[in-house]
Amino acid sequence: MTDTIGQVLEFELGSETYCVSIDHVTEIVDIGEVTSVPNSPRHVRGVMDLRGRTTSIVDPKIVFGINEDGAERRIIVFDPEIIADQEAAGWLVDEVHQVRQIDEGDVDDSPGGADSASIKGVVKRDEGFVIWVDPVAVHAE
Confidence at residue 74, expressed as pLDDT on a 0 to 100 scale: 94
Calpha distance 58→62 (Å, rounded): 9
Confidence at residue 10, expressed as pLDDT on a 0 to 100 scale: 95
Confidence at residue 29, expressed as pLDDT on a 0 to 100 scale: 94
Helix or strand (DSSP H, E) at 45: strand 44-50
Tell me the domains of the chain and their CATH numbers: 4-140 (2.40.50.180)
Confidence at residue 140, expressed as pLDDT on a 0 to 100 scale: 59
Chain centroid to CA 55: 15
Whether the pLDDT of residue 84 is over 80: the answer is no
Calpha distance 113→115 (Å, rounded): 6
Whether the pLDDT of residue 48 is over 90: the answer is yes
